[in-house]
Amino acid sequence: MMATGFPLPDGPKVAQLLGMLFDGLAVKAGGAVDQTPQGGAWFGVFISDEGETVGLCAADIALSASMSSALSMLPVNVAKDAVKTRELTEVMIANIREIMNICTRLMMDGTSPHLRLEEVYSVKSLPAAAAALLAQPRGRSVFQIQLPKYGGGSLALLCA
């Protein structure tokens, strides 16, 4: 049985949490993450203490490249190249893993069960349980996020 009770954040919570990582961050509700294999999105797969997939944090390729580059202060052109090729470098993948780990806090509050990051995956390599959740989430919140210099894209949080 799937765990329930994971809250979805609002824009101010997203801005507060990610604002600790990125100065000058702008967050607004809305947008969409391209979930097709060609889209290049990256997903943090969140699991319960029992190992069940209970949530996803999806960042489109533009946001994945922007956030992961900004975290290590990589040159802006590195982020732009990643968007063009739809591929992240190893450093960028390590950075997106750290960002997704922090994003677990977006789906927990004082009353929710614990969850943790299982791993990050490109849209092409999502495990079956994560793909099933992506196809039929119980809840979804989507935000447009902009970072100074680097640009931005869409972030979606989905819960089982």
Q: Using one digit for the tens of pLDDT, what is the confidence trace for 64-110?
A: 999 999 999 999 999 999 999 999 999 999 999 999 999 999 999 98
pTM of the model: 0.94
Residue pair 65/82 in contact (Cβ under 8 Å)? The answer is yes
Domain boundaries, the chain: 11-18+25-52+59-149
Residue pLDDT, tens place only, 106-135: 999 989 999 999 999 999 999 999 999 999
Residue pair 57/105 in contact (Cβ under 8 Å)? The answer is no
Return d(Cα 82, Cα 133) in angstroms, integer: 27
**Is residue 2 over pLDDT 60?**
no
Q: What per-residue confidence (pLDDT) applies to 3?
A: 43
Specify the 3-state DSSP secondary structure of 111. coil
- Name the pLDDT band for 5 (thresholds 50, 70, 90): confident
Q: What per-residue confidence (pLDDT) applies to 4?
A: 56
Residue pair 31/55 in contact (Cβ under 8 Å)? The answer is no
Return d(Cα 29, Cα 67) in angstroms, integer: 18
Residue pLDDT, tens place only, 20-73: 999 999 999 999 999 999 999 999 999 999 999 999 999 999 999 999 999 999
